[in-house]
Amino acid sequence: LHLPGAAARRRTVVLFGDSLTQQGFGPGGWVARLAEALQRRADVLNRGLSGYNTRWARLLLPRVLPGEGVAPDLVLLFFGANDAALPDRCNARQHVPLAEYAANLQAMAEHARGLPSRPEVVLVTPPPVAEAAREAHINSDHANDGTGGSGERLALERTDAAAGEYAAACAEVAARLGLRCVDLHRGLKAEPGWEALLWDGLHFSPEGGAAVFRLVMPAVEAAGLGPGALALDYPDHKDVDSADPAAALGAL
């Protein structure tokens, strides 16, 4: 049994990303599934920031991952879905050019890797875009937000081709730095009927959350933080004598 004492600390996983991470604690979400898998073994900290790109995230990184106060054993960096927004469409303010995206991602990975706790760092690529569902979604929002009265349809603001380019750049940064990479763009497309994994063409449905969890978990296990590698914190309740609980717990 792992019995934390004064000098011990629970293992920590930090997830830094955009809405695909922030929403991961929702029903069926991949972050919720990861936290459940690691319950009583490691803390999973969700630092997802909806709408953010790497340009904005890089500015916040020293606050999200300071040298003191947070001592992660594993950091997952999951950005690119917003950076890949097309520069001439309705979400142009989120767009970051491909070369800058790669430079930002590399800088963030190097910062995380240099923390005093020397965590493992894993990069996660942006997922594919289900274009038909995405176009329907943005135009449904447009029709209901008071700006779509003219009947003019919005052009698709994200494409699967662009997402693929940013996913490839993410994988290249990981290879350059010798880091593990979870390629969601390819991995989700390998799932039958993958478009249904993205409820609005971009964000994960509960089934999508399950698929992302399955793709992310091997990287967590490779970092030595899978549930099979970590013992439970504190004795199991069955090992506590109700007549003399101090025998099991008093010396902790």
| Catalytic annotation present for 242 | no
Cα separation, 249 vs 252, in Å, equals 6
Start-to-end CA span in the chain (Å)? 12
Cα separation, 17 vs 34, in Å, equals 15
Q: How many residues does the chain have?
A: 252
Catalytic residue among 19, 50, 140, 242: 19
> What's the Cα-to-Cα distance from 7 to each of 4, 38, 236, rounded to whole Å?
8, 21, 21
> What's the Cα-to-Cα distance from 21 to each of 34, 45, 47, 136, rounded to whole Å?
12, 10, 7, 23
Contacts for 89 with CB less than 8 Å, ≥ 6 apart:
154, 155, 156, 157, 158
Encoded tokens for 127:
């997922």
CB 102 within 8 A of CB 173: yes
CB 207 within 8 A of CB 27: no
- The catalytic residues are 19
